[in-house]
Amino acid sequence: MTNGVQIFENAEFGKVRTIVKGREPYFVGKDVAEILGYKDTVNALKAHVDEEDKTGWQITTPSRGTQTATIINESGLYSLILSSKLPAAKKFKRWVTSEVLPSIRKTGGYNVKHDDALQSKRVEIMERNARTRAANLLLKIAERTNIPEYKAVCNAKAAEMVAGEMILPLPAAERRTYSATEIGAMFGVSANKIGKLANMHKLKVPEYAKLFYSKSEHSVKEVETWRYYESVVPVFEKIFGREAV
């Protein structure tokens, strides 16, 4: 592989490609996003990495020729790690900071003259900046919703991101809710059928259901989702003329 690409491999995480650009280490964003469990790597890089922390880079491989890949710097790397829900994300960070970066420095391409203490401080600052960006995103989401509980969760998580610990209480746990798919399974019908009947019989009210916001699997946008309380089951039993399974 050409274009100054150096590959690092780990038995647990697989391969990650790195590049030294302007004496700074960069990582191929797609590799990092896949390792951290993001299903849509393009959206992950768009949603979690600031523009100043990523750029395009020509990479040549024998099988695919020359292609433009998105590469991210250390700050972008920590943003992806912080936003990842993968339990091993912290372990991946340790591997990068303890093995990958020191190895790049030894090659002479990544010429940093500060000592380990200063490097540790640099990592700490980058992580703090990543947490601040994530907190700001949560606060923006909170501003867009009219659901008090959802707003409270976003504000609490934003405060936790900045402080490093939970300082605002999360809303108390509520009654269990069921998705339209789960309700449909009780009666052998589709989720769409449940949704249509709920609209027809005006069941999307606080007595029987609650509106939630959840992240779309195919984009970074939040989508509205209705979930139903157990109290709606007897109503559907009357509608279908049979008991739930």
**Tens digit of pLDDT for each residue in 65-112?**
788 999 999 889 988 988 888 888 889 988 998 888 888 877 654 444
What is the H or E stretch that residue 42 is in? helix 41-48
Instruction: Give the neighbor-by-neighbor strand order of the sheet with 177-178.
Output: 177-178, 222-229, 209-215
Please, what is the angle between helix 233-240 and helix 191-200, to 10°? 90
For residues 147-153, give the mean pLDDT: 74
Query: Are residues 133 and 79 in contact, defined by beta-carbon separation less than 8 angstroms?
Result: yes
Alpha carbon distance 154, 148 (integer Å): 10
Give the side-chain half-sphere CA count within 13 A for 17.
Answer: 18
For residues 51-55, give the mean pLDDT: 91
- Closest to 49 measured CA to CA, from 139, 136, 157, 133: 133
Alpha carbon distance 43, 27 (integer Å): 17
* Residue 98 confidence (pLDDT): 85
* Residue 167 confidence (pLDDT): 63
- Closest to 152 measured CA to CA, from 138, 163, 162: 138
pLDDT digits (tens, 9 = 90+) for 175-184: 788 999 999 9
pTM score of the predicted model: 0.49
Torsion of CA 216, 141, 167, 38, to 10 degrees: 30
- Indicate the domain borders of the chain: 5-112, 114-172, 177-240
Q: Which has more confidence, 104 or 121?
A: 104
pLDDT band at 114 (very low <50, low <70, confident <90, very high): very low
Alpha carbon distance 203, 62 (integer Å): 59
Q: 110-124, 145-159, 220-234: which has the highest mean pLDDT? A: 220-234
Distances (CA, A) of 198 to 70, 86, 192: 45, 36, 10
Give the range among 16-20, 125-129, 190-194 with minimum mean pLDDT. Answer: 125-129
Q: 56-70, 79-93, 137-151, 152-166: which has the highest mean pLDDT? A: 79-93
Q: 2-16, 31-45, 58-72: which has the highest mean pLDDT? A: 31-45
| Biggest CA pair distance of the chain | 77
